[in-house]
Amino acid sequence: MGRAASVRRLVVVVAALGLAVVWGSAAFLKSLDPAAFAEQITRHHVSPEAWSSALAWLFVGIEAVLVAAHLSFWRPRLVFLASGLLLLGFIAVTAVAWANGNTEGCGCFGRLAARHPREVILEDLGFLLMAGAGFWASAGHPGFRRSGVVFAALLPLAVALPIAGPHLPFDSLVTTFNPGEDLTDLAVDDLPQGLDEGQVLLVLVGPDCASCDAGLESLNQIAATDGAPTVIAVYAGSRAEARSWALDHVPGFAVGSAPEKVLRQYYRKLPQVGLLSEGKLVRVWRGVIPAPADVSPG
């Protein structure tokens, strides 16, 4: 193999592995909470809102398949072209959203990696150059031995990611509701006290949440226990919806409200419960209401 061929082969390998990391990170983080990714798509106002959920699943699937293709070096020139075209599409969508002032939640790696659209476009241009280098270097490159077999072996994993992602226990990667976080500035209406006053058991609830309803008895017991943390529920919705929920359930504790758009960064699934001390989270329960014995007085 000549020197030029060796260099081109090295470029193919480096570019393919680099793009596999890019698409793998993006697909994994988005798959953990596709509903949040769909909300990002909606806020760009580039496609109809009714398409957002389907587009979210579609992009996660495409990115996962690209990971399998790049890792296996299967038909590299075609795959580099596909990566380049997808990046061009993302750049165009970001530019259109930016031009129209719809840039909230901008970014390719989930809501916790949101950046200014200028940064996103520059970042994607860098990835596009990587894809272009790989496309150039892979001219006449047939792929590596058994690359088709490796791709076939990886493809089921790529297809499974969008299905398995929402059920993987990685809430800490895609929410800001983690021990150590300061929730003092959480914008909530109709609270009788601040979240930074002593110990507070903060419970995020919402509509159609069977686990929220099932845990009301436990929350009422905690609220009635001397020395226990103050129980405060925050409903993900409007003030009117929160009041309707309180009238239907008659809780023995205060119920505030915050728009779902505000609260969505704190959970993947309701209920989400946190024990706060002076406004900072010290313990978290995800998708379940704690039993009274789990919340010791004092």
DSSP 269-292: SS-EEEEEETTEEEEEEESSPPPG
pLDDT along the chain (298 residues), means of 10: 82 96 94 89 90 94 96 94 96 91 64 72 95 93 82 94 92 90 91 90 95 95 94 95 95 94 89 96 95 80
The CATH code of the domain that includes 286 is 3.40.30.10
Q: Torsions phi, psi of 46, nearest 5?
A: -100, -30
The C-alpha atoms of residue 8 and residue 278 are separated, in whole angstroms, by 58
Q: Which of 153, 171, 189 marks a domain boundary?
A: 171
- Inside any domain, residue 27: yes
The C-alpha atoms of residue 110 and residue 30 are separated, in whole angstroms, by 5
45 Ramachandran zone, left/alpha/beta (phi>0; psi -120 to 50): left
Tell the burial category of 10 from Cβ atoms under 10 Å away from its Cβ (0-12, 13-18, 19+): exposed
> Interior CA angle at 285 toward 279 and 291, to 5°?
105
> Same domain, yes or no, for 152 and 278?
no
Tell the burial category of 169 from Cβ atoms under 10 Å away from its Cβ (0-12, 13-18, 19+): exposed
The C-alpha atoms of residue 188 and residue 298 are separated, in whole angstroms, by 25
Smallest CA-to-CA distance from 105 within 18, 6, 30 is with 30
Q: What is the structure's pLDDT at 40?
A: 86
Q: What is the structure's pLDDT at 110?
A: 56
Q: Torsions phi, psi of 192, nearest 5?
A: -80, -15
> Same domain, yes or no, for 111 and 224?
no
Q: In what order do the strands lie in the sheet with 199-205?
A: 254-258, 230-236, 199-205, 272-277, 280-286
Q: What is the structure's pLDDT at 39?
A: 86
Q: Which of 171, 191, 214 marks a domain boundary?
A: 171
Q: What is the structure's pLDDT at 68?
A: 97
- The length of the chain, given as a count of residues: 298
Q: What is the structure's pLDDT at 239?
A: 94
> Same domain, yes or no, for 160 and 251?
no
At position 142, the amino acid (one-letter code) is P
> Same domain, yes or no, for 162 and 204?
no
Dihedral sign of CA atoms 278, 279, 284, 288 in order: positive
Q: Which of 171, 187, 218 marks a domain boundary?
A: 171
* Structural tokens at position 298: 């004092």
CB–CB of 31/60 below 8 Å? yes
> Same domain, yes or no, for 241 and 165?
no
* Structural tokens at position 272: 């989400």
Q: Are strands 230-236 and 254-258 parallel, antiparallel or unpaired?
A: parallel
Number of domains making up the chain: 2
Which domain covers residue 110, as residue numbers?
Answer: 3-171
- Inside any domain, residue 262: yes
pTM for this one? 0.82
> Same domain, yes or no, for 15 and 112?
yes
